[in-house]
Structure 1
Amino acid sequence: MTATAQLAPQLQINPDSAWEKLISRDKTAGFLYAVLTTGVFCRIGCGSRPPRRENVRFFGTAAEASSAGFRPCQRCTPTERDPLDRVREHIERNLDRAVPLAELARISGLSPFTVQRNFKREFSVSPLAYQRALRAARFRAALKEGNSVTDAVYNAGFSSPSRAHEAAQLGMTPARFAQGGKGERIGFATASTPFGWMIVGATDRGLCWLALDGTKAAAETTLREEFPLADLRRDASLSTLIDAALASVHEGSDLSHSLRSAEAPNSQEANLTSIDLRGTVFQLRVWNALRQIPRGQTRTYSQLARELGMPNSTRAVARACALNRVSVLVPCHRVVGVSGSLTGYRWGVERKRKLLDAEKERRS
């Protein structure tokens, strides 16, 4: 095989996005970098001094970097398997029991203190919190697949339904979640807007759904698919939530201010100033951070991860944005790709473009 053939995969790495991942030390990047002035190649998350951009080359594998004449870094040992990967995989294989730090230390060859510190630095959560998050995800998946609440609780590794409910952040009881929101009462309203048909849904705790679609019927379908067995009732008074969403685009108003300005009906005004978000602790942190991005401004996924103090969690942040249930008021449309591209948007990229354009016009 020729040297040219060996290096071919390198050409598939976008230098601009790769540089962004290097600057943010995104350890999920999946490739390596080499420095011309030192002749060394490293993991993206290496703690060595940041290189100058013109001296950097990117490689898909250690073999490619070695073939190009670079030697492995002795600090981050890019040719060896990361001990934290062994820790992570061990946790994932043992969700049904407690995994003490001492056990993780034996797996990794590190001290318990070092495992705890390095794991939290790498994944932004402790080993215990990581295990709990995976259990919660398994629990929610089992409920959606039709498992009984009891089976889902214990198969996910929880000791009791109350612990499962607390960890899974369902926003309702496990039984109601398993039954597609059965017994949950959700009022809704729809209206045509410059960004398509908008539907809002609200529980007695606040706004739980805001979606955009091409037709009124399609918009209403999104709510029925999310809560297939809930008691859905049309409520014209909830149109104030649509007004609030549009005001957030045109004026930058938050939900409570917009509703006060619109003189929302007294019967539900106190509750409608809240947003009933339902997700994991991590997702809730991301969604709250989205609400802090000023109207007319954008962030990249990596910038948002850094602002959250989790520079290595860019992909997880992007995934949380994609699962946002309350568009516009939780403005995931204000997050863009590293190059400024709009990338994907749950409600359609063209709507994302219109939302950003409207915010910029009003801002100027």
Structure 2
Amino acid sequence: MNPQADRPTSVSSVYQTEAQRWQAVCTRDARADGAFFYGVSTTGIFCRPSCASRLPRREHVAFFATAQAARAAGLRECKRCRPGGLPRELAIVERACAVLDADPQARITLAQLSDAVHVSPFHLQRLFTRVVGVSPRQYQAAHRGAALRDALQRGERVTRAALDAGFNSPSRLYENAASELGMAPSAYRNKGAGLVVHYACASTPLGQVLVAATEKGICHIAFGDAADSLVGELRRTLAHAQLIEDDARIAPFVAQIDAYLHGGRETFDLPLDVAATAFRQRVWDALRRIPYGETRSYTQIAEALGAPRAVRAVASACAANPVALAIPCHRVVQKRGALAGYRWGLSRKEVLLRTEAQRAGATGADALGEGAKPAKLDDVA
């Protein structure tokens, strides 16, 4: 199951303004945890939005994008909600993940998992979902999906690949194929064989953009200097799919991208049809929580996922992003603010960050991070 299907496509947009953030604090909205933190000047403490502590007066509250920013302002962590980290809870989740990882093909119930880590099923479900970003059941499903994708890419027959990946029967596989692969298993193995994909190219301030979609949603957004090369890349990726150039069908999606690049919108309302491993799904979800006009480092993303040593894996997930802008991997930079790599070119990343920062009313240094160099707003194309 793809956890993105169960969450809003633009979570960060709900908490962009101070009014929206204050409302989240007043309602103790757990969905806002990680999107921002709030500090109280009278106590010198900062908290998560869902903290159960007594509600402060609005005039004493300031908002921060990261726990590091709150600490830099001289605030201490709340001992009740522990906004800077959850060491005990993380240890519980790590043990649960170890149980699930020991036999990825096994179907472990929530009750069995809770017995293994010695906490109640209800507490484990809430804790695992909050820390990992997906439920234990979704975590197992992603493992099966990853094993299935690997087997199909090696050319194994669908039935054998399904059984080896932990599906009890081919019928069970096809019931879950759309959510775990993004397309039918045979179509995935055969590079889109039997799949109909509509696509179109258009000119933008960042050069040519190609948008491709299945009947479920967007599966590919890419920027380049020439439409022919973008189409060629799509044909190699989905070599056996039926590709249909269809400007009219793709036009509403292109219009959103155009409005975004010209400052007409800050978020997207695009249905996505992309498949990923559990970890990549978590990274991509974290990227979509980065507010417009702000950035995070690869290290910050890894820490937010409870996997501080997985910096390289975070970078790999960013590089594998198939849908530019819709999953804003351009908002991830190196620890000291350097712009690192970008699948569609560093010059485009530079323009996107500078433009977003200016339109969000932030300074270039605040948006790009310490040590980042200013960008020029020249067209890339």
TM-score, structure 2 as length reference: 0.57
1:189 and 2:184 matched: no
Correspondence for 1:246? 258
Select the residue among 170, 174, 181 that pairs with 2:181.
Answer: 170
Correspondence for 1:312? 307
CA distance in 2, matches of 1:247, 1:295: 14
CA distance in 2, matches of 1:280, 1:311: 17
What are the equivalent positions in structure 2 for 1:1-364 lying under 5 Å apart? 92=101, 94-97=103-106, 112-113=117-118, 130-165=139-174, 166=176, 169-237=180-248, 238-251=250-263, 253=265, 254-256=267-269, 273-280=270-277, 283-305=280-302, 310-312=305-307, 314-315=310-311, 316-364=313-361
CA distance in 2, matches of 1:292, 1:112: 30
Query: What are the Cα deviations for residues 121-148 of structure 1, in whole angstroms up to 9, with x where unaligned?
Result: 9977777765543332111111122111
Contact 1:197 1:213 survives alignment (8 Å): yes
In structure 2, give the amino acid aligned to 1:176: A
Task: Give the paired residue count.
Answer: 266
Q: The residue matched to 1:169 in structure 2 has which SS? A: helix
Distance 1:359 1:98, change over 3 A: closer
Distance 1:102 1:242, change over 3 A: closer
Decide which structure has the larger Cα Rg and report it.
Answer: 1
1:324 positional shift = 1.6
Distance 1:127 1:285, change over 3 A: closer
Distance 1:274 1:89, change over 3 A: closer
Root mean square deviation of aligned Cα: 4.0
CA distance in 1, matches of 2:264, 2:298: 21
CA distance in 2, matches of 1:157, 1:96: 4
Q: The residue matched to 1:204 in structure 2 has which SS? A: coil
Q: Which runs of 5+ in 2 are unaligned?
A: 1-70, 72-86, 362-381
Q: Which runs of 5+ in 1 are unaligned?
A: 1-51, 53-74, 77-81, 257-272
CA distance in 1, matches of 2:101, 2:145: 12
Distance 1:224 1:115, change over 3 A: farther
CA distance in 1, matches of 2:272, 2:133: 26
Distance 1:192 1:345, change over 3 A: same
Correspondence for 1:4? none
CA distance in 2, matches of 1:158, 1:239: 39
In structure 1, give the amino acid aligned to 2:268: L
Contact 2:132 2:306 survives alignment (8 Å): no
Contact 1:208 1:276 survives alignment (8 Å): yes
Query: What are the Cα deviations for residues 49-99 of structure 1, in whole angstroms up to 9, with x where unaligned?
Result: xxx9xxxxxxxxxxxxxxxxxxxxxx99xxxxx999999778656444457
TM-score, structure 1 as length reference: 0.59
Q: The residue matched to 2:181 in structure 1 has which SS? A: coil
CA distance in 1, matches of 2:334, 2:120: 33
